[in-house]
Structure 1
């Protein structure tokens, strides 16, 4: 008897399921159809009805709420337009945070991308002659003027630059690398794997902790093409260790006409950042001046431009790299090329530290950070349940650069009466304007070294929204 009652109730619910047409005629869905393709709304409606029918058959539903059903349909439609890519406030203190996109672009770079991206552009046409040109021509002269070198090439990132260079200069031939420099970077990207993909033959020399110039010399044979120096950007070997400097590799290669030197620097610093607490970061200009054949580095690290791999060196080497078939697969699109060009223009201006965002963050005086931290802590303390305190701290550059060098900073340490530090971090991270901080010593901290001054107010607004919710 009970089973019959349950079955009759279930059948009544099934009969009362609204039709697709009925739901599409509801005012809320009609409003949705004004700005949304009909097919997407119909699909969301049918899916929602199928789910409702399944729930009824599984005895998980005892009534049909049409308003709730319309809300479910609306959520499904909105989900189709959602994305995991959002603008965030980086309060972790890590300026070159790979997970947060590394270097933020200058306003001028973003404007240049919009101008070039929304219309046709002379990406591969010489407007003076009307003939086809190379897209690198847009930035080559500026790159060589800033960094040195006889010629330049640009590709989608530094990993691509490394693979292309090896393929063009060492395919089927040996590339000599120290065992202490066979690095792995993010995403399990390993130098030996790059060698294999480029068809270069890896020749390991030295030991993990010690490699001398003589090790490179002893490894050179008729099939040797490259002596390669790889910057160990995200780790450091200390103690009983030795690495052959780039000058020694150049000297060794000078005794062998068929061997060239490639310096894979990684971060691409144009200046000496010692005054900002960043020491001993290799610079492309130094390597080129010393006499390397090719130097490689990222555009979106210390240089502060868009994601790209920049290749500079001798005309002979760059010509081989540029003509390799892989270049077409790795070349920059017009918008990234425009952003790179605009960033180069900023470096050619009188004071790039005031205009390139990464340089702004790195060079922010510690006294200024202290003032901002005290002010922000005071504002946050106006909210109930929040206890905020400004404190001096240290942070790191990130992006695989100088991993052991500390940079002075000021933070706002926060405790919330009702939320653990993990829950507070989650609440701010998933808010309308995501704020990402760091947890240290059981305290949630906002590090202002990686926060632009204009974002301080946005952080206060995020806490206000958190309080209201």
Structure 2
């Protein structure tokens, strides 16, 4: 069939609308979406035909494919695929606890309940119930952060990069900010401290070498244009060996003698020392505030275990300036973030309660043997076909999220040998499920790390693995 005959054989839109199959699709997806997708599908068919040579006897388009029913099947599949796009719940069997690409922290149950309550009803977001007038949205959060960090005041914006930028713009716009060369970190997604500083209007002045910086380096760089000293905790990498850095106490003492502000970006941020649970010592927010840091920023959705937020704590006079900056309104958080953050922070008044109820902390401090028990339970539910071998092995889980970059956790995993089948094909199919499963490949083995899989997910995970096994074997 030649090109013109093929083009003329494409059914008209009215032919599709008259079909009973179209009514079902429209009822499910709406007339607007149906027509948009149908026209796109018809245009794709036309382009394929036009791409053929004028008198070809055979083309990529078969006459059967030009029937109304066949095209409607394609339309339905495209609409279904569209509905499956976007955010989805996944099972994280990859062993990275604060996986940036998988949403980082999991909210505590009390925070989830509060978000639902506040989102579904009117709330006292900015309403003073005492006097019946306009209120202040950060009132409760400010008090919680003062109690837990020892800071004079606090405020919250939408993420830590925004917090750093707002602090610098408020305190040091058009002025020099001195930072150690080895602390000019790159945050996930190629956001770099120097670029954040540039966006704030501050002028970067780097000192020291990559691996060593001394107090004298900072002091030598101080001049009339100096606005602040910036200390950045290298939470997502480490320089080891022949190194030297300046402590918060040293920096604060010297800076205050020159009437300079000391700002610290603590990155992931942690409120309590977790070294007794096998984690290396990390500077806590409270320790840095006690050391005299004037303004400190950290994330809400990393080691804190709450929602995405950039938390700013420090001296009242500086926090007050930050709150009054015009950018504050653009960067402030909404009612749901505040609700989740407040409820997460409340748990920190009792560390033992926090360790049990904040998922991030619970996973971090859980003994490896519990992951082994879950691995054994999962293995018992798997229906392994011939040629596929499942073995429980020791594995290494990671914190992720730019925290504890050199540390791994002893964990246990279910390792799968797929024989002649490509492991990549297997993990791909797992990712295409209605509830995707995220695993990893290591030494040609598929690894399901149970450090990041919860007890209540075992049944669903087993069903998913068995489903893919049945499809590919």
Equivalent residue, structure 2, for 1:318: 319
How far apart are the structure 2 equivalents of 1:376 and 1:39? Answer: 45
- The answer to which of 330-339 and 269-278 deviates more is 269-278
Does the aligned pair in 2 maintain the 1:381–1:387 contact within 8 Å?
no
Provide structure 1 residue ranges, at least 5 long, that are not aligned to the other structure.
1-5
- The answer to which of 313-322 and 449-458 deviates more is 449-458
SS at match of 2:165: helix
5 Å matches for 1:48-127?
A: 48-57=41-50, 58=52, 59-64=59-64, 65-127=67-129
Equivalent residue, structure 2, for 1:262: 263
- The answer to which of 178-187 and 114-123 deviates more is 114-123
Does the aligned pair in 1 maintain the 2:270–2:284 contact within 8 Å?
yes
SS at match of 2:407: coil
Pair 1:328 & 2:337 matched: no
User: Over aligned residue pairs, what C-alpha RMSD do you find?
Assistant: 1.9
Aligned length: 461
5 Å matches for 1:68-467?
A: 68-257=70-259, 259-349=260-350, 351-380=353-382, 382-467=384-469
Does the aligned pair in 2 maintain the 1:383–1:464 contact within 8 Å?
no
Change (3 A) 1:382 1:268: same
How far apart are the structure 2 equivalents of 1:27 and 1:385? Answer: 47
Does the aligned pair in 1 maintain the 2:418–2:445 contact within 8 Å?
no
Provide structure 2 residue ranges, at least 5 long, that are not aligned to the other structure.
53-58
Does the aligned pair in 2 maintain the 1:89–1:436 contact within 8 Å?
yes
Superposition deviation, residue 462 in structure 1: 0.7
Instruction: Please list the CA deviations of residues 144-180 of structure 1 after superposition, one character each: whole Å capped at 9, or x if unmatched.
Output: 1112201101000000000000011111222111111
Equivalent residue, structure 2, for 1:17: 10
Does the aligned pair in 2 maintain the 1:91–1:450 contact within 8 Å?
yes
Match of 1:39 among 32, 51, 75: 32
Does the aligned pair in 2 maintain the 1:277–1:405 contact within 8 Å?
no
Change (3 A) 1:16 1:88: same
Superposition deviation, residue 385 in structure 1: 4.4
Does the aligned pair in 2 maintain the 1:103–1:306 contact within 8 Å?
yes
Superposition deviation, residue 38 in structure 1: 1.4
How far apart are the structure 2 equivalents of 1:418 and 1:456? Answer: 27
- The answer to which of 124-133 and 245-254 deviates more is 124-133
- The answer to which of 375-384 and 102-111 deviates more is 375-384
Instruction: Please list the CA deviations of residues 282-325 of structure 1 after superposition, one character each: whole Å capped at 9, or x if unmatched.
Output: 21011111211111100000110001000101101111111111
Deviating runs (4+, > 6 A) in structure 1? Answer: none
Instruction: Please list the CA deviations of residues 61-96 of structure 1 after superposition, one character each: whole Å capped at 9, or x if unmatched.
Output: 231343321111112333443423211111111101
Equivalent residue, structure 2, for 1:27: 20
Does the aligned pair in 2 maintain the 1:143–1:152 contact within 8 Å?
yes
Q: Return the TM-score normalized by structure 1.
A: 0.93
How far apart are the structure 1 equivalents of 2:345 and 2:385? Answer: 44
How far apart are the structure 2 equivalents of 1:452 and 1:114? Answer: 22
Superposition deviation, residue 41 in structure 1: 1.2
SS at match of 1:439: strand
Superposition deviation, residue 100 in structure 1: 0.9
- The answer to which of 51-60 and 200-209 deviates more is 51-60
How far apart are the structure 2 equivalents of 1:189 and 1:145? Answer: 31
Equivalent residue, structure 2, for 1:3: none
Does the aligned pair in 1 maintain the 2:384–2:469 contact within 8 Å?
no
Q: Return the TM-score normalized by structure 2.
A: 0.93
How far apart are the structure 1 equivalents of 2:344 and 2:229? Answer: 31
